Chain A
């Protein structure tokens, strides 16, 4: 494939045009962000908006510098990130286990179906205060909220994937005399790997929602705490700074999952 091939002028033009579009896209993406930041800054300087309420990039920057100087930024990031990762991992493991159990016992799946539907429709945040009472006002409650927000969707998505496994492939294995366990391990699970990855992608987003809401309710550290605290004492710069960091963290974690997806897809050969 990597042999040096003569590229015809027509093909060269095509390749160049792809590169050009790519460049144009990047340029616009960066310009949009810069334009937004400059306009925001300018609007503050010119008193078109009140920087005390609306904040502005330079103030957000100062606020970030303060956090770094105090040495607390690392702590807040570490608390929120670790809560997210733990909640995300727990929800994925519990969700996967529950989905396997439902697939294994079809009658149980039928019986539990309406409960799952209601749990799925319910805004899980509503259960937050109960969880605080049960798990105590601390990281445990935050992780519990995160798991609760994430786990139901995981169960439903994975279970639906499992039951939609190609019947032809299951039939083939059955014709070789495969047991239910073999059918799960050799067909149902491997053919649902792409499904599992897309569940992870959804979960990571939901886990952030769970953690931030959890931190709104109970916390003494973390980005959610900073946001609530900043709001209460009218330090909007601090709120914006926290959201800015949150943006970076969520993007990083999302791309980590996308990277994982690329690797598994290569192994999976779809």
Chain B
């Protein structure tokens, strides 16, 4: 279980200290899909960096199974805003980069990576380069790169924001299905309310800076589907949407 206990974070600039995050406490259950929604610039991405051990909190602590996270942890993998695939590496080379950082990839690592790519429809593109793939495929490759290190927890940092609207809906659907099949705990940061509701079991709404938790919504929809597309059609969807919209207080 991933736990945030009174996590706070302050930025320091020569002009002064900026309180970015204040007293954020959260329990994230194994296998849960949690979304964090907040106005832009409220420190959502910073919160992910804190969970991922890329930044140390100024107050409080982040733990996995009661172990404090102080540096990037192999149990956590991060999926960035743009796909960040390296243009000079093949798709397979890109997928293996996380393993390469830890050790020389073995044949077994390669076999597993290839299997993942094949499982999720990129089998024919293993030796291609990122610029030969469509935006949606690139994002899928980026997800597989995240999965290749076999993490327990995925951190998704607005992973669809660089895609056009149509692709965005399809890719969100694909990503959600893949995560469901791989049974990973996931935390999605987004400013898209619909995306948050349709993908998650729970939505956390953050306030403007300094970010505090404004509200938590357990998303219960009258559909069994995990597909975000299908969930958008559920009658309760609009109800959640309006409530979160009001809470975000966008003027």
Contact = CB atoms under 8 A, between A and B. Distances in A.
Nearest to A269: B129
Nearest to B128: A269
Interface residues of A, number: 21
B31 interface: no
Nearest to A193: B88
Contacts of A182: 101
Given A193-B88, A268-B87, A269-B129, A177 B80 contact: no
A2 to B, nearest CB: 17
Interface in B65-83: 71-74, 76-78, 80-82
Contacts of A174: 54, 72
Interface in B50-107: 52, 54, 71-74, 76-78, 80-82, 84, 86-88, 97-98, 100-102
A173 interface: yes
B149 interface: yes
A21 interface: no
B131 interface: yes
A177 B74 contact: yes
A169 interface: yes
Nearest to A179: B101
- Counting chain B CB atoms within 10 Å of each CB, the highest count among A171, A182, A186 belongs to A171
B42 to A, nearest CB: 19
A178 B72 CA distance: 9
A173 B97 contact: yes
A172 B100 CA distance: 13
A176 interface: yes
Nearest to A166: B84
A267 B88 contact: yes
B72 A175 contact: yes
Contacts of A173: 97, 101
Nearest to A187: B86
A176 B149 contact: yes
A268 B130 CA distance: 11
Contacts of A29: none
A136 interface: no
B84 A172 contact: yes
A121 B72 CA distance: 43
Given A173-B97, A177-B101, A168 B131 contact: no
A168 B54 contact: no
B55 to A, nearest CB: 11
Contacts of A187: 86
Contacts of B87: 268-270
Contact of B88 (A166, A171, A175, A268): A268
Interface string A175-195: 111100010001100110100
Contact of A176 (B81, B86, B98, B130): B98
Given A168-B80, A175-B72, A176-B72, A269 B98 contact: no
A169 B77 contact: no
A269 B130 CA distance: 9
A269 B127 CA distance: 12
A111 B81 CA distance: 34
Contacts of A270: 87, 131
B102 A177 contact: yes
A175 B130 CA distance: 21
A197 to B, nearest CB: 13
Nearest to B129: A269
Contacts of B52: 175
Nearest to A177: B72
Contacts of A190: 86, 88
Interface string A70-94: 0000000000000000000000000
9 contacts: A171-B54, A172-B84, A174-B72, A175-B52, A190-B86, A193-B88, A268-B87, A269-B88, A269-B130
Interface of A: 166, 168-169, 171-178, 182, 186-187, 190-191, 193, 267-270
Given A169-B84, A174-B54, 19 more contacts: A168-B80, A168-B81, A168-B84, A172-B84, A173-B97, A175-B52, A175-B54, A175-B76, A175-B78, A176-B149, A177-B73, A182-B101, A186-B86, A186-B97, A186-B101, A190-B88, A191-B88, A269-B88, A269-B130
- Give the 8 A-B residue pairs with the shortest CB-CB distance, closest first: A175-B78, A269-B129, A177-B72, A176-B101, A176-B98, A178-B101, A268-B88, A172-B84
